[in-house]
Amino acid sequence: MCELLAMSANVPTDIVFSFTGLAERGGVTGPHVDGWGITFYEGKGNRTFKDARPSSQSHVAKLIKSYPIKSEVVVSHIRQANRGCVSLENTHPFTRELWGRYWTYAHNGQLSDYQDKFNVSRYQPVGDTDSELAFCWILENLAKQFGDKQPDDLLAVYRYVATLADEIRQLGVFNMILSDGEHLMSYCSNNLCHITRRAPFGKAKLIDTDVVIDFDKETTPNDIVTVIATRPLTDNELWQILTPGDWKVFRYGEVVLGNT
């Protein structure tokens, strides 16, 4: 299986600490050696870095670990291939335009008997993974449900996405991260957790490598940062473990919608 990482914050924040831990799972402390990717949002724009090499060996990943790109929304993924070959086009996250916004998506899991389910025309996958096809199907249904113009209430869109995710989960394991650049949605099929850091801040220690950070020295008292991951990245903090079917939508680090 793959692993997910995402962040929602109320101020532009770098994800160097969390990504450093995740990258180790791409070949050192984990078997996820079939590529990795990360997307940073900056306003309505974003920048995505991908590599089909293991994140623990990637020179591009070294750049991300050393260069503190600040963003309010980040989506990242390390891949252990099960559907589709190891290639750049099959590397998450995937991004498509809808309603004048870039939507970014990453999936952890494996689906079966999905070809007849995911009939798409407007959005076509570039690669050959079940993950990207499911993303295209979600966007296709959003366009059909809400039309060609963005609805005033984007939270209604995410409520509908949750029903689509429930359908996809019937086909296998479907842990998902989805963002429009302002909101960040997490959907749990079997493994997903999150932590929200706010004042008073303390120290955190990564599980996968010997790195410690004192967030009190890196933040202001008003900062709110939520990190979502497949498995906890630190061993001295209390992560909230989601249960199958749980989903949440974050905005500026805070939960604004969910079923729990």
Question: Which residues belong to the active site?
Answer: 2
**DSSP-assigned beta bridge partners for residue 41:** 46
Name the residue type at position 244: P
CA 33 to chain centroid, in Å, comes to 18
Tokens of 154: 């984007």
Q: List the structure tokens of 174.
A: 């479907």
SS3 at position 230 = coil
Handedness of CA 38, 136, 163, 150 (dihedral sign): positive
User: What letters, b where the CB count within 10 A reaches 16 and e where it falls short, cover 80-111?
Assistant: bbbbbeeeeebbbbbbbebbeebbbbbbbbbb
